[in-house]
Structure 1
């Protein structure tokens, strides 16, 4: 079995259609189909079968994809080692959701440069179920989920938990709640909310609040950018759930939420048995998490950030 045909089979498993494989591999659909037929002949068993108007992997095809992952990983590791001997550098394609990237990526890039690894980073902000398929295009996908949602279970995906980040309620500095340090979920039933779109961890926690209080949160605006959400909260247009490290606006006050589990879990997704450079970048992600300040108290973290800024020499504030 030729490695290039195994790659086409894996691409089909990742992308789900001959057309998508053809586009990704810069081939014609007929050429992809022909090569997969040749692979089936080499395997001695059908690898694809009709599924309505589409086609899908047979059980034998699914089994071969798992072996293809192993073979391709071994070949890629060999290529990486030879390239390292030649140039001294390896390359890793890293996809991260925006707020996670702003938090962890600078330290990862610093450590990667010292390790001789070239990292090409991309923003990828999708719901948790859509994260594993992105491994068709990236070596590592850093994603996040509501902590009550089970981690992905797929023999073709290796999951590494990086950290748990609490979600706080943020209110404006002029709010009647701003003097508090904590807030119980039952005190939030009759408030205007600003949230993210459905399918993301923050909105999942709002659904839990609805289940506990019996009152559906009154969401007046939905935004995908935390900076915009903070600005709206600071201007008294509502309250919001905010990941603890994402809250930066001086006009908002974070309150620790009581009465419901509220956190998002960061995960790193790779293929099983990744290249050495990919494993090294995962190590750098864990090191970046270790280097973060204490996550236990929203007020304590804000105070620490203020103290650090106040103690900077003049001219270093930016």
Structure 2
């Protein structure tokens, strides 16, 4: 049943004549009559009958006009609630973060949002490659991801992307390593070292491989581990060295040193479906992510 036609019927019940309805709705009388005939065809029962030079509602028409009050009232309440969602940050915001990004940003992000009682963040950690990110925006309002310095940006025709921060990648060495006191470290000096790196296709491994191409120094990768906390522990115990993000590492016994003469870093980004950031609750979470990332990078 067409809601607009129900409104026309309700107006006729209130105002009594088609002419009065037409004036109230800024329609022509013929347009009002056409809407009433269309509604009558929809419900399959006569809603009006001739009354002198005008029309009046039948019993069925009166019943439907009265029920229309309930329907239109409910729709008005729904519209009012929707207006509150449009203007006031509220509701659930589904956020996916890659694990080390969650370690870096999530606890203080949730603290920043603690006074936003109407906004609830539903977090999931997702070990993602850049190619998987656009697909994840179908399930999440915000996808916090990372890519290396030389990776292409995300397709702006598919998603919106906001840079949160650029995190340098340093070589992680055990405290007793001969190069632990050197700052910076030349990649060539690390030839023959045993490297621990994430799986192929993940951003930090992409950086390590791109550095190898540019410098001609091919790293020997002895372990593939995606959890940086495990990698840090292995480095601290002398089982290898690694390329790790500067702001994320906090394991005692691990020394971070920048690489000499090369640009090594990862871009941490918040990716959303096109236009979804217009929702106030999503915008609040994005703003909090940007603020937290700015605090981390200072």
Q: State yes or no: 1:282 paired with 2:294.
A: no
Whole-angstrom distance in 1 between the partners of 2:92 and 2:174: 44
CA contact (8 A) 2:134 2:158 kept: no
CA contact (8 A) 2:188 2:217 kept: no
* Gap change, CA 1:187 and 1:113, over 3 Å in 2: same
The residue aligned with 1:250 is 252
Query: Alpha-carbon deviation of 1:263?
Result: 0.2
The residue aligned with 2:101 is 100
Moved more, 177-186 or 93-102: 177-186
TM-score, length-scaled by structure 2: 0.68
CA contact (8 A) 1:80 1:90 kept: no
Whole-angstrom distance in 2 between the partners of 1:148 and 1:256: 18
Q: 2:222 aligns with which of 220, 223, 230?
A: 220
**Other structure's SS at 2:251 match:** coil
Deviations 1:169-211 (A, max 9, x none): 0110111111112101221222111111111111111112221
CA contact (8 A) 1:168 1:254 kept: yes
Whole-angstrom distance in 2 between the partners of 1:80 and 1:203: 48
Whole-angstrom distance in 1 between the partners of 2:261 and 2:147: 20
Segments ≥4 residues shifted beyond 6 Å:
none
What pairs up with 1:47-62 in 2 under 5 angstroms?
A: none
CA contact (8 A) 1:230 1:247 kept: yes
TM-score, length-scaled by structure 1: 0.64
**What is the number of residues matched between the two proteins?**
216
Whole-angstrom distance in 1 between the partners of 2:155 and 2:113: 29
Moved more, 104-113 or 152-161: 104-113
* Gap change, CA 1:268 and 1:134, over 3 Å in 2: same
Task: Mark the runs of 5 or more structure 1 residues left unpaired by the alignment.
Answer: 1-77, 295-318
What pairs up with 1:1-318 in 2 under 5 angstroms?
A: 81-82=82-83, 84=85, 89-115=90-116, 116-274=118-276, 275-292=279-296, 294=298
Moved more, 222-231 or 152-161: 152-161
**Other structure's SS at 2:102 match:** helix
Give RMSD over aligned pairs: 2.0
* Gap change, CA 1:113 and 1:89, over 3 Å in 2: farther
Whole-angstrom distance in 1 between the partners of 2:158 and 2:81: 21
The residue aligned with 1:33 is none
CA contact (8 A) 1:97 1:142 kept: yes
